[in-house]
Structure 1
Amino acid sequence: MFAISLAFTVESHSYHKSKWISSTNFLSGNVFGFGSSIDSYFNLRDVNTTLVKENQQLRLQLERFKSIPIDTSFTDTATYNSPYKFYNATVIANSFSKKDNYILINKGQKDSIKPDMGVITPNGLLGIIENTSSNYSRIISILNSNLEINVGLKKSDHFGTLSWNGESPYKAQLIDVGRLAPVKVGDTIITSGNSSIFPKGIPVGKISDFSLDQSKSYYKINVELFNDMTGIGPVYVIENLMKPELDSLKNSTILNE
């Protein structure tokens, strides 16, 4: 009877519900954190391999920038400042076999992590921060039927919505791409930059197959994810410093309409 009463109290009061979620995040975070410490020790070789590959990619990008001439006529250096900040974290719990999957990381409010921040890995898109406690955060994974993210074709300006049908953890679905888009198997899918969460150009995956819905004139596309969602280690949490301003402007536009 006490458990039933507690459940009704939590569900019917938003304050109690938020405190309950924070408490469960803290407790589960400590449990998973202990297990993650052990797993991390035995997975150091895989983590180092991932970091070496990322460093290699960053070095290649650096060399490309070195070859670009700098126009010294620009005087406004503020235009070169990125609106994005990146925080590193480590996954301590990850589900991928359910219809709605979540990921737990070892950083939280005291590390400046907030809900609605984007999360990526060295390989690509991972999810969005849903809830935080002092030391931990829960990510709603791209392998979650409730999550939709705006993405697009790397080689054109066509975009659509990334979702997941609850089947393979290695593939997601891209919908709402118009029939005039130049879609081909093997094309790269990236974040479109049409949201205030992710910058444009974060890798997502590549097209494995597609079909055209004749009745709606939209493609149904299967995307092979760059991330191996069954084995995630180091991650980066993205903060868009301009998000409050963008969200305020969007909300005022909606209200005016």
Structure 2
Amino acid sequence: MQQIIYFIIKNSYKLLFLLLLGIGLTLTIKSHSYHRSEYINSANAVTGGFYQKINDANEYLSLKERNSELAEENARLKQLLFNQADTLLNWNDFDDFNADYIARKAKVIKNSFNVRENYLTINRGKKDSIFTDMGVINDKGIVGIIEKTSKNYATILSVLNTKSRINAKIKNSEHFGSLIWDGKNAGYVQLIDVPRLASLKKGDSIVTGAESEIFPENIPIGKIDKVFIDPKTNYYTINVRLFNDMTALGYVYIIENKKKDEKKNLETETTKK
């Protein structure tokens, strides 16, 4: 208390000046419309800027929720696309029961890409109807295939895995082959066993094939970078530059083919002797 009194006595002239200045400014603003208007505008500018900063901060903090909402909406749109639904169809008129393909969103929480057998982990599992042998894609193209699942998580066999083998074809062509990875470059995969009768050139797009039981047809994969002829088989081996940056994956979409088992069972019965 003594220190406060001492401070007031020591700075009494300064405090008196500030008090009189405040009173003078108040009287001036109240008695002159011009000064009052300028004061209000200045105050609004300060408070407006302050509220803008708060709004910007709130928008930034809500990005995570917004991204999740966008990913959910993308999953719905992809499901409509995979089932070749009318683009004017209302989502409420379209139910999972009648769909051939179901799309569910998930987020990658672990990703490897620098070894020969790479896997990813997502934050969805059996409780979210995620099971083995479902396809995984994102907005740019294929990512891999569900390998194993637990209640809340699932692992993905990445396209950057030397064990991966996916049916793929040259876009706008019926010539297809098997998509593999040679374990060398994370930006490229290889399409093998493509007949030499196939018409192709550098820059042509590679997409998933119709024979795939896991992916819908025509999911983007990449573009032809180089073409080789395998001397052992006399077939093309195509180096494909991936559309996806497999080193930076966020939200992905899990694709369920609801008619996969029916097709497999029919083919098995057909080939029985």
TM-based fold match above 0.5: yes
**Within-5 A mapping of 1:23-172:** 81-172=98-189
Q: Deviations over 1:157-177 (max 9, x none)?
A: 100000000000000011000
Helix, strand or coil at the partner of 1:231: coil
C-alpha separation in 2, matches of 1:150 and 1:83? 19
Deviation at 1:96, TM superposition (A): 0.2
Helix, strand or coil at the partner of 1:142: strand
Deviation at 1:147, TM superposition (A): 1.1
Instruction: Give the equivalent residue in structure 1 for 2:195.
Output: 178
Q: Deviations over 1:150-204 (max 9, x none)?
A: 0000021100000000000000011000001011000000000202111101000
1:232 pairs with 2:218 = no
Instruction: Give the letter aligned to residue 141 of structure 2.
Output: G
Q: 1:212 aligns with which of 229, 239, 262?
A: 229
Deviation at 1:254, TM superposition (A): 3.3
Deviation at 1:66, TM superposition (A): 6.6
Q: 2:205 aligns with which of 172, 188, 193?
A: 188
Q: Deviations over 1:58-115 (max 9, x none)?
A: 7xx9xxx779xxxxxxxxx99xx54000000000000000000000000000000010
Amino-acid identity (%): 50
C-alpha separation in 2, matches of 1:227 and 1:139? 15
Q: Deviations over 1:210-242 (max 9, x none)?
A: 112355221111000011000100000000110
Q: Deviations over 1:18-44 (max 9, x none)?
A: xxxxxxxxxxxxxxxxxxxxxxx99x6
Helix, strand or coil at the partner of 2:118: strand
C-alpha separation in 2, matches of 1:130 and 1:250? 23
Helix, strand or coil at the partner of 2:269: helix
Q: 1:248 aligns with which of 265, 269, 272?
A: 265
Instruction: Give the letter aligned to residue 121 of structure 1.
Output: N
Helix, strand or coil at the partner of 1:250: helix
Task: Report the TM-score, using the length of structure 1 for normalisation.
Answer: 0.69
Helix, strand or coil at the partner of 1:166: coil
Q: 2:214 aligns with which of 179, 193, 197?
A: 197
Instruction: Give the letter aligned to residue 125 of structure 2.
Output: G
Moved over 6 A (4+): none
Task: Report the TM-score, using the length of structure 2 for normalisation.
Answer: 0.65
Instruction: Give the equivalent residue in structure 2 for 1:222.
Output: 239
* Greater length-normalized contact order (CA 8 Å, ≥ 6 residues apart): 1
Helix, strand or coil at the partner of 2:272: helix
Helix, strand or coil at the partner of 2:253: strand
Helix, strand or coil at the partner of 2:105: strand
C-alpha separation in 1, matches of 2:264 and 2:233? 31
C-alpha separation in 2, matches of 1:216 and 1:196? 26
Quickly say closer, same or farther: Cα 1:154–1:112, change in 2 above 3 A.
Answer: same
Larger Rg: 2
Runs of at least 5 residues in structure 2 that lack an aligned partner in the other structure: 1-59, 89-93
Instruction: Give the equivalent residue in structure 1 for 2:24.
Output: none
